[in-house]
């Protein structure tokens, strides 16, 4: 285990199982309908890569990048759009792929933006949900794991751009960000 990690919350094997279970539900619901997967960078990259390889409908890939955190462990409250989608979304089934829903502000912003583009349907899938921190009223269709209010990193999630490449999700030791 990495020296800055206090505790492993989800091991690589546990993540794999969660991803498969999510894919099974999504495959059942989407019933083979063509879908655009919209991956919210950067954190969701690892999750999306694994999830998409288990999806059975025809699925195309697009990206958005929004930012709310800077290098802090607490959200700044401002969601900035750094990269927008590049394909036509009108009349399409959309699957938004997110790594973690915290305050919910990122998803609220994404939902509002996409609503204006007249998609056929928008569903949201997140690997992690931290409901204790929710501020915005967002409905998430698929949740991999509900987690406690701890600062987690790994499998795409960062602190100051580090730890994204850890194969598990772990709780970051306070000593890393308390000084
Ligand atoms: C993180 C995370 C989610 C969002 C969740 O992204 O990946 O997208 O914050 O927070 P919220 O529910 O409070 O909006 P971040 O802005 O840190 O960008 P990153 O994915 O590039 O690390």
Chain-centre distance for alpha carbon 76: 18
Question: What pTM did the predictor assign?
Answer: 0.94
Q: How many domains does the chain have?
A: 1
Which atom of ligand 1 has the smallest separation from the CA of 157? 22
Residues in a beta bridge with 98: 126
Report pLDDT for 78: 80
Structure tokens at 137: 């009223």
Angle in degrees, CA 176, 178, 179, rounded to 5: 95
* Nearest Cα residue to atom 16 of ligand 1: 67
Note if 116 is an active site residue: no
Closest to 118 in 3D by CA, of 92, 99, 141, 140: 92
Crossing angle of helices 45-52 and 12-30, in 10° steps, is 60
CATH number at residue 72: 3.40.50.2020
Per-residue pLDDT tens listing for the chain (179 residues)? 999 999 999 999 999 999 999 999 999 999 999 999 999 999 999 999 999 999 999 999 999 999 875 545 555 668 889 999 999 999 999 999 999 999 999 999 999 999 999 999 999 999 999 999 999 999 999 999 999 999 999 999 999 999 999 999 999 999 999 87
Q: Which residues line ligand 1 (CB under 6 A)?
A: 40-43, 67-69, 75, 98-106, 158
**28 CA to centre of ligand 1 in angstroms:** 28
Structural domain containing residue 57: 5-176
**160 CA to centre of ligand 1 in angstroms:** 12
Write down the catalytic residue from 102, 129, 137, 158.
Answer: 102
């Amino acid at each position: 285990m990495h020296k800055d990690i206090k505790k492993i919350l989800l091991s690589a094997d546990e993540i794999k199982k969660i991803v498969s279970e999510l894919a099974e539900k999504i495959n059942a619901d989407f019933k083979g309908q063509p879908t655009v997967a919209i991956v919210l960078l950067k954190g969701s990259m690892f999750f999306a890569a694994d999830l998409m390889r288990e999806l059975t409908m025809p699925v195309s890939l697009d990206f958005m990048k929004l930012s709310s955190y800077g290098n802090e462990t607490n959200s700044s409250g401002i969601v900035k759009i750094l990269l927008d989608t590049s394909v036509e979304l009108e009349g399409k089934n959309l699957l938004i792929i997110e790594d973690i829903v915290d305050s919910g502000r990122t998803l609220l912003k994404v939902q509002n933006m996409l609503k204006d583009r007249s998609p056929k349907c928008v569903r949201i899938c997140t690997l992690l949900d931290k409901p204790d921190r929710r501020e915005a009223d967002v409905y998430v269709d698929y949740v991999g794991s509900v987690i406690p209010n701890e600062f987690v990193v790994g499998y795409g999630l960062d602190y100051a751009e580090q730890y994204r490449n850890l194969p598990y999700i772990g709780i970051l030791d306070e000593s890393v960000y308390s000084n």
